Amino acid sequence: MSRGLYNNGTDLAVMKPYSYNQAGQVHDLQFSRWMAAFSPRSLVVIGLLFCLWPGFAMAQSNYSFSQAIDALWRWLPFIVSKGFMLNLIVSFLTMLIGTIAGVLLGLGQISPLKPIMHFSKLVTQLFRNSPWLVLLFIVMLALPFEIQIGEQIFQIPDWLKAVFGLSLPIMANISEIVRGAIQSVPTGQWEAADSLAYSRQQTLWLVILPQCFKRMIPPWMNWYAILTMATPLISLLGVEEIITLSRQAMEAEDNHPELLIPFFGFALVIFFAYCYPIARYTLRLEKRFSVKQ
């Protein structure tokens, strides 16, 4: 058919483009879109208000705002090196374990074997819809505090239990990302692989998954930002991360109420400063890797 017929229309039946929902839609990247919505100017304004408000609120106090800032400055190396770094380590390990398990679980959801498919879907929906804090408490109480192998006794640190507890909901959400990305590939790709006599395993690894990889990156990064913001939950289990160490530092400074805003405000700022570039880059990757329909 000539190009002119395409431009002027034709009475012949034309196959319409395959319609699908790609991974990384608005609901998948909602957190990153919310963070990226803050412009640099708005961040400056919020920062100024954050700095000025404590000065007015503490004007009548014997413990001044400058003293609170001095206390924060003294404890800053300890809070960042021992506290925030543990938050990052927990987020890295959790994302690693959750991604590996989530990929396997996501592949299980599209398995042609009914028992594997139903089991994978059940596990995915169970942990996707469970409160993270409840999972953390269950894991903390269910796992032993130490393991004895022969005559050797190995202690299981609380932060390692927290990694396992947080990896469960991450695993379930990564599973949904994998399932959605695979099902978003047009069926013509599967049919083309069948015509080449590819096995199902070859089709997945050589044809389908390479196309899914770029689509999964933005929602994967979005969930990493969410996970990083959620790591302070482990402070409720006694893990000595940034929030726990901030409370200990305030107790060492005689628990002045004026210390609350500088210490917890700094935790808010450092988490936002870490996750904001991730959110911006996530949206850039979404635009770059988006499939044109």
Q: Report the domain count for the chain.
A: 1
pLDDT-based confidence at residue 15 (cuts at 50, 70, 90): very low
Please answer whether residues 239 and 158 qualify as being in contact, where contact means their C-beta atoms are separated by less than 8 angstroms. yes
DSSP 234: G
Q: Tell me the mean pLDDT in the region 22-28.
A: 46
Strand ranges (E), 17-174: 146-149, 152-155
Is the pLDDT at 33 greater than 90, yes or no?
A: no
Closest CA to 119 of 135, 131, 132, 105: 105
Is 7 within a domain? no
pLDDT-based confidence at residue 5 (cuts at 50, 70, 90): very low
Considering the chain, what percentage of its residues have pLDDT values greater than 70? 77
> Which is more confident, 167 or 27?
167
- Residue 170's pLDDT is what? 95
Q: How far apart are CA 147 and CA 244, in angstroms?
A: 26
Query: What b/e string do you get for 252-288 counting C-beta neighbours within 10 Å, with b at 16 or more?
Result: ebeeeebbebbbbebbeebbeebbbebbeebbebbee
- Residue 217's pLDDT is what? 85
Residue 42 to residues 46, 122, 213, 254, 277, Cα–Cα distance (Å): 6, 43, 34, 35, 15
Q: How far apart are CA 1 and CA 10, in angstroms?
A: 10
- Residue 19's pLDDT is what? 40
Is the pLDDT at 88 greater than 70, yes or no?
A: yes
Q: How far apart are CA 135 and CA 141, in angstroms?
A: 10
pLDDT-based confidence at residue 47 (cuts at 50, 70, 90): low
One-letter amino acid at 87 equals N
pLDDT-based confidence at residue 221 (cuts at 50, 70, 90): confident
Q: How far apart are CA 75 and CA 250, in angstroms?
A: 9
pLDDT-based confidence at residue 196 (cuts at 50, 70, 90): confident
Q: Determine which of 3-12, 65-74, 180-189, 266-275 has the lowest per-residue pLDDT on average.
A: 3-12
Is 192 within a domain? yes
Span 225-248, pLDDT tens digits: 999 999 999 988 888 899 999 999
Is 138 within a domain? yes
Is 18 within a domain? no
Is 235 within a domain? yes
Q: How far apart are CA 57 and CA 53, in angstroms?
A: 6
Closest CA to 181 of 97, 99, 110: 110
pLDDT-based confidence at residue 16 (cuts at 50, 70, 90): very low
Q: Which residue has the tokens 């074997």?
A: 113
Is the pLDDT at 44 greater than 70, yes or no?
A: no
- Residue 46's pLDDT is what? 60
Q: How far apart are CA 242 and CA 255, in angstroms?
A: 17
The three-class DSSP label of residue 12 is: coil
Q: What is the CATH number of the domain that holds 281?
A: 1.10.3720.10
Q: Which domain holds residue 187?
A: 81-288
Is the pLDDT at 8 greater than 50, yes or no?
A: no
- Residue 193's pLDDT is what? 81
Is the pLDDT at 22 greater than 50, yes or no?
A: no
Q: How far apart are CA 251 and CA 264, in angstroms?
A: 13
Is 40 within a domain? no
Is 168 within a domain? yes
Is 247 within a domain? yes
Please answer whether residues 172 and 182 qualify as being in contact, where contact means their C-beta atoms are separated by less than 8 angstroms. no
List Cβ neighbours of 78 (8 Å cut-off, separation of 6 or more): 245, 249
- Residue 36's pLDDT is what? 65
Span 144-195, pLDDT tens digits: 887 777 778 878 888 899 999 999 999 999 999 999 888 888 888 888 888 8
User: What is the value of pTM for the model shown?
Assistant: 0.77
Q: Determine which of 37-46, 52-61, 179-188, 269-278 has the lowest per-residue pLDDT on average.
A: 52-61
